[in-house]
Amino acid sequence: MKSFANLVTIFLLQSLSLPLYSSCLHQSSSDDSSSPFPSDFLFGTASSAYQYEGAYLTDGKGLNNWDVFSHENPGKILDESNGDIAADQYHRFMEDIQLMTYLGVNSYRLSISWSRVLPKGRTGGINYLGIKHYNSLIDALIRNGIKPLVTLNHFDYPQELENRFKSWLSPEMQMEFGYLADICFKHFGDRVKHWFTINEPNQQIILSYIKGIFPPARCSMPYGNCSQGNSETEPFIAAHNMILAHAKAVQIYRTKYQKAQRGIIGIVVQTSWFEPVSDSIVDKKAAERAISFYSNWILDPVVYGKYPEEMVDILGAALPQFSSNEMKNLKKSKSDFLGINHYTSYFIQDCLSSPCNSGEGASRSEGFALKLDRKGNVSIGELTDVSWQHIHPQGFRKMLNYLKDRYPNIPMFITENGYGQLQKPETTVEELMNDTKRIQYMSGYLDALQAAMRDGVNVKGYFAWSLLDNFEWLYGYKLRFGLFHVDYTTLKRTPKQSVSWYKNFIEQHVNTADLIDIY
């Protein structure tokens, strides 16, 4: 029976002229018909402040690293764009919540723009208009039955912190981040019950301090071409500060807020599955090393208080050490759950004891494990227009099982998974709207997720990246991940085919067995 709220939604969506009926195109075909998703499973979409909000100088927001980087180096972004307007969610969140309601999701992952809340970090005072904005957004989500899951930091931070002490290269950043976390728990924690500290420290550091293609664009030859930096030392210093900043935020939550607010807190890492390119022992070891230099780099310290052995062995003195106090604190502030972002898989070839071509992964800082798309003529999965995205759902299942074995008993959220469609000069709007490739991708990955859950992996939620097309960092607006298309001249949102598909998937897989229909 349809609830009153559902009827209101249908009415609203009719007036927005969204399709009311879901298509069954490529509906997921898992071999077991009973849904492994428990009734409290979170189905949502994910977003981040810089990629969505726009309003880059509105209501007292300060400049952040991405504002400055994109303004000063337009040529580094594929379409020379920036996030000044992005999807303008700052002004359009009520409309976007209607889209979420239509989609049938019960949760939304968003991030806080640090420089909107603290324009100059700890020293410049709180911007209460920023606090008011997030309060309105959080309240509106909850009023519409959508749980807000909040990431404290998703790649953007006040430029002031870069200028003053080189941001993540300084331990000062731990204090700054702790302060941001405290302010957010204090103002939003009565309603936000799921906190993520930092989004993808691993990916952010590789791009910012090894390759130097994200701000603050620091690296050294041959890793990249930057005016300053050191790709063999700085990445590990920055990661160390991020890990300790995460621990600080967790500690603040545990000691000051968690008991009263009754929420949970964790971190988000980027994961890729790495398949040995051959059965040789050295390639198998290289694949292990590749995972250690990528996701375990962050997860081992936040779960066990120490870096993976492979990193200690290869990096030696370049890898900072945790003092015994820090180690104790890390173990005490163990995450309540792991946030897992996952998009792709690679073959891995050993470069430690075998001759190897240069290429991604082959260097010391990346663990001497070369990433390959193919083994001979066979690709790891369907290759796409984007060099890093290969469609290989089996890798997702393997990754989840690997995480279950390495970090037993810690629940996981799939905080991001999705398909990016590159908009080439010849791509038509129809091609963007008929996004069958995205449906095929999501269908495969959601089947793999169900298989992993049947294997015993404890997953609590799945967040599609992304609700809307948005500013995709170095790809600007040319790489579209949205379920809803955004026309960047009018900012109009229009559902792609994948909206019907995901809506239908959720309807079919939400386990209603123990839900009570009160109407």
Catalytically annotated residues: 200, 416
Binding test (CB under 6 A) with ligand FCB, winner from 81, 89, 199, 220: 199
Q: Judged by CB under 6 A, which stretch of 237-245, 298-306, 400-408, 465-473 contacts ligand FCB? A: 465-473
Structure letter (DSSP) for residue 165: H
Based on CB atoms, which residue is closest to ligand FCB, 51 or 494? Answer: 51
Based on CB atoms, which residue is closest to ligand FCB, 41 or 66? Answer: 66
> What are the beta bridge partners of residue 340?
269, 414
Residue 255 CA to residue 271 CA, distance in Å, equals 30
In angstroms, what is the minimal distance from the CB of 48 to ligand FCB?
Answer: 5
Q: Does 300 bind ligand FCB (CB under 6 A)?
A: no
Based on CB atoms, which residue is closest to ligand FCB, 337 or 368? Answer: 337
**Going by C-beta distance under 8 Å and a sequence separation of 6 or more, which residues neighbour residue 165?**
172, 173
The single-letter code of the amino acid at 445 is Y
> What are the beta bridge partners of residue 422?
479
Based on CB atoms, which residue is closest to ligand FCB, 429 or 474? Answer: 474
CA distances from residue 88 to 56, 94, 467, 472 in whole angstroms, order as listed: 10, 11, 13, 14
The phi, psi pair for 484, rounded to 5°, reads -105, 135
**Binding to ligand FCB in span 500-519, by CB under 6 A:** none
In angstroms, what is the minimal distance from the CB of 184 to ligand FCB?
Answer: 19
Site pattern 381..420 for ligand FCB (x: CB under 6 A): -----------------------------------x----
Based on CB atoms, which residue is closest to ligand FCB, 288 or 469? Answer: 469
**Going by C-beta distance under 8 Å and a sequence separation of 6 or more, which residues neighbour residue 425?**
none
Distance of alpha carbon 244 from the chain centroid = 20
Q: Does 295 bind ligand FCB (CB under 6 A)?
A: no
CA distances from residue 60 to 126, 158, 185, 339 in whole angstroms, order as listed: 10, 13, 21, 31
In angstroms, what is the minimal distance from the CB of 307 to ligand FCB?
Answer: 22
Helices (H), 40-155: 49-52, 65-72, 89-103, 114-117, 128-143
Binding test (CB under 6 A) with ligand FCB, winner from 177, 253, 297, 473: 473
Binding test (CB under 6 A) with ligand FCB, winner from 156, 162, 200, 366: 200
Q: How many helices (H) and strands (E) would you count in the chain? A: 19, 17
In angstroms, what is the minimal distance from the CB of 513 to ligand FCB?
Answer: 34
CA Rg value for the chain: 22
Based on CB atoms, which residue is closest to ligand FCB, 315 or 464? Answer: 464
Based on CB atoms, which residue is closest to ligand FCB, 52 or 368? Answer: 52
**Going by C-beta distance under 8 Å and a sequence separation of 6 or more, which residues neighbour residue 505?**
27, 28, 442, 443, 446
Q: Which residue in this structure is represented by tokens 């726009």?
A: 54
Binding test (CB under 6 A) with ligand FCB, winner from 203, 296, 344, 349: 203
In angstroms, what is the minimal distance from the CB of 468 to ligand FCB?
Answer: 12
**Residues binding ligand FCB: number (CB under 6 A):** 12
In angstroms, what is the minimal distance from the CB of 281 to ligand FCB?
Answer: 32
**Binding to ligand FCB in span 414-453, by CB under 6 A:** 416
Return the percent helix, strand and coil in the chain, to nearest 5. 45, 15, 40
> Omega into 216 within 30° of 0, i.e. cis?
yes
Q: Judged by CB under 6 A, which stretch of 63-71, 88-96, 197-205, 213-221 contacts ligand FCB? A: 197-205
Q: Does 465 bind ligand FCB (CB under 6 A)?
A: yes
Residue 329 CA to residue 322 CA, distance in Å, equals 10
- How many C-beta neighbours within 10 Å does residue 245 have? 25
Q: Does 270 bind ligand FCB (CB under 6 A)?
A: yes
**Binding to ligand FCB in span 92-151, by CB under 6 A:** none
In angstroms, what is the minimal distance from the CB of 501 to ligand FCB?
Answer: 19
Q: Does 53 bind ligand FCB (CB under 6 A)?
A: no
Based on CB atoms, which residue is closest to ligand FCB, 236 or 465? Answer: 465
**Binding to ligand FCB in span 475-494, by CB under 6 A:** 481
Binding test (CB under 6 A) with ligand FCB, winner from 341, 345, 423, 497: 341
Pairing relation of β-strands 147-153 and 107-111? Answer: parallel
In angstroms, what is the minimal distance from the CB of 388 to ligand FCB?
Answer: 9
**Going by C-beta distance under 8 Å and a sequence separation of 6 or more, which residues neighbour residue 368?**
286, 289, 314, 350, 351, 352, 356, 361, 362
> What are the beta bridge partners of residue 179?
none
Q: Judged by CB under 6 A, which stretch of 33-41, 122-130, 195-203, 488-496 contacts ligand FCB? A: 195-203
Tokens representing 470? Answer: 């948005």
Structure letter (DSSP) for residue 63: P
In angstroms, what is the minimal distance from the CB of 472 to ligand FCB?
Answer: 6
Residues that bind ligand FCB (CB under 6 A): 48, 51, 199-200, 203, 270, 341, 416, 465, 472-473, 481
